[in-house]
Amino acid sequence: MINKRKNKKLLITDVQPLRTRDDIEAVKNYLRKGRFGERDLMIFLVGINTGLRCSDIVQLRLGTVVHDKTPYIYEQKTGKKRQVNLKNIARELDNYIHNQSFTSMDDYLFPSRKHNVSEHITVNGFYKVIRRVEFQMGRHDLGTHTMRKTFGYHFYKKTNSIAMVMQVLNHSNPAITKRYIGISDEEVNNQLSDFIL
């Protein structure tokens, strides 16, 4: 029987975060080796370090980030204003900018290589990049939301605050956030097993 989902995009619920540093490093290495490795790696770094949606990342412009590593953007999906903290990847971002041939502060940070520099890579274009990496890694659970979910998962692990993750991801309730970042009841119970007041 032919797998009906073979040619379909993964559902958001099928996409998982990268839970280990080894998996994150593996994705970075595969991205680096791609045809537009420097661009694709930088998109990934922005995604896993900010929790921005891919649709917001691909539309970033040079002028937004070149002098301010905590810029405000308006999220495409929600229309809400959000401050983005890029300080933790400032060096990598500055190196990336230095190695590109930008001509204007209005240039897209992640230009499309298919057309011209006045257009950005599309979400679908980056989805294809991630699916190639997924194939190379022998996985079946990566998509553009992997970056945002990875951020949420590791931010939660660091802070143990679902409320903070919820706030950054702009979710409306904790249950959505837990399900989105893949925090299972088992993981919650593991944390509670040695909790005592």
Look at residues 151, 147, 140, 96 and name the one whose alpha carbon lies nearest to residue 123: 147
- Contact indicator for 28, 4 with CB cutoff of 8 Å: no
Query: Residues 89, 160: one domain?
Result: no
Q: Is residue 16 part of a domain?
A: no
Q: Is residue 14 part of a domain?
A: no
Query: Residues 156, 111: one domain?
Result: no
What residues contact 3, with CB distance under 8 A and at least 6 apart? Answer: none
Please confirm, yes or no, whether 53 is among the known catalytic residues: yes
User: What three-state secondary structure class fits 72?
Assistant: strand
pLDDT in tens, 147-159: 999 999 999 999 9
- The single residue of 77, 80, 81, 91 carrying the catalytic annotation is 77
191, pLDDT greater than 80: no
Mean pLDDT of the chain: 89
Query: Residues 87, 184: one domain?
Result: no
Please confirm, yes or no, whether 171 is among the known catalytic residues: yes
The domain in which residue 186 lies consists of 148-192
Query: Residues 51, 74: one domain?
Result: yes
**Token pair 């991630």 in the structure block, residue:** 130
pLDDT band at 4 (very low <50, low <70, confident <90, very high): very low
Please confirm, yes or no, whether 145 is among the known catalytic residues: yes
Please confirm, yes or no, whether 180 is among the known catalytic residues: yes
The answer to whether the pTM exceeds 0.75 is yes
pLDDT in tens, 100-156: 989 999 999 999 987 566 799 999 999 999 999 999 999 999 999 999 999 999 999
The pLDDT value recorded for residue 58 is 97
Query: Residues 115, 159: one domain?
Result: no
> What's the sign of the alpha-carbon dihedral 56, 61, 63, 67?
positive
pLDDT in tens, 8-64: 566 666 899 999 999 999 999 999 998 899 999 999 999 999 999 999 999 999 999
- The single residue of 148, 149, 154, 178 carrying the catalytic annotation is 148
- The single residue of 53, 120, 154, 178 carrying the catalytic annotation is 53
Give how many domains the chain has, as a whole number.
Answer: 2
Please confirm, yes or no, whether 148 is among the known catalytic residues: yes
> What's the sign of the alpha-carbon dihedral 22, 27, 30, 32?
negative
H helices then E strands: how many in the chain?
10, 2
CA separation for the pair 96, 69 (Å, rounded): 14
pLDDT band at 2 (very low <50, low <70, confident <90, very high): very low
- The single residue of 145, 149, 154, 178 carrying the catalytic annotation is 145
Look at residues 63, 24, 26, 68 and name the one whose alpha carbon lies nearest to residue 47: 24
Q: Is residue 126 part of a domain?
A: yes
Beta-carbon count within 10 A of 2 CB: 6
Please confirm, yes or no, whether 108 is among the known catalytic residues: no
Q: Of 119, 141, 163, which residue constitutes the final position of a domain? A: 141
- The single residue of 28, 39, 149, 171 carrying the catalytic annotation is 171
